Structure 1
Amino acid sequence: MTLFKTLFLACALLLAGCATAPPEDPENLCNIFKENRSWYKAAKNTEQKWGVPVHVPMAMMYQESGFKHNARPPMQYWLGFIPVGRASSAYGYAQAKTLTWEDYVRETKRRRARRSNFADAHDFMGWFIYKTQQVNGVSKWDAYNQYLNYHEGWGGYQRKTYNRKAWLIQVSKRVDTRAKRYAGQYRQCKEDLERGWFSRLFFG
């Protein structure tokens, strides 16, 4: 029994380590989900809970963190070498800022949620996209305007602050292009992803 527990713990630690590593092929949504089956389950849960299509939050998350669980804005330095802090409190897969994350936790009552946990971060993005549709009338399938809201906040989007940021317009276009590419890829592999582990094991 002791040996079994040791082997079980070792496997669990190994899987946990793999789960936090960025996917090997982040440009292909099918490969992302095949590499991390738990991520697909989380994405489907978000879709069912918030009515958010799988490809939109994934494209936004790619832009925000490159799927790094502990991503942060770069440290800022005074005189080039004295650290003075980071540009914002953004952290984790979704680069959620602390105050917005606290709003999410309070509204959803998910006090154990963590920004460095993929499922939690994905659920947060689903919540934000859902709220963006309610607050600003932006379709959940509109990755371009959803990302502008995500970056500028609902008030900033209403004030059209993005019009003063040409670089942000370009980034939002990239997010939209990636979301459409992800959507096309997902249509090709959705049926296979829906198959259970038993079917994949014995039927390839």
Structure 2
Amino acid sequence: MESLKDPDVLSLDPETPFWERVYMVSPLVVVGTRNEDGETYNLAPKHMAAPMGWADYFGFVCTPRHKTYRNAVRTGVYTVSYPKPSQVVLASLAASPRTGPPEGPRRKPTLDSLPMLEAKEVDGVFLEDAYLFLECELERRVDDLGENSLLIGRVQAVHVHKDAVRVSEKEDEAVIRDAPLLAYLPPDRYATIDETNAFPFPAGFEK
């Protein structure tokens, strides 16, 4: 086996923010949590988020400095909304900075303008008109991943828009064409996925 010596392949310093030097395809979700006042909710976009295995677990990366982390750890629950491509601006607004005096409560004024839906099984809200909704109960957390943590929850309820559901009487490519997906390309771009091809799995492949 030859070593990695292609002159077109560059080696980057792993001690620097190398993830920002190359584009990758990531999901973009909006995580919802209840604030400490017990009355208001926080929504925040996350792209380091994914199912944790084939079972009913879902996790996302967050920093303990953020209210999303503190709220989820305190309440033990969180929601996940998968926005449609048409909602990319709403997802961006959820990332707006907080305002207010340093010694007092700080809040995101833009959240007041975001349309929300109440969750059914856990204390939380969703971004209205998303296509996939998860209600999660915090199962465990992995801290000290540098300045970040991984929060893993067990999915307690799943809701999906009828246009985004895979059904036997409709081709998969048609499902995606009729209900396009929003992809985030960190650190600063996004794309709409509405055209796909079947993956060429080898014969006998099993997950």
Bigger proportion of residues as helix = 1
More strand per residue: 2
Scaled by the length of structure 1, the TM-score of the pair is 0.25
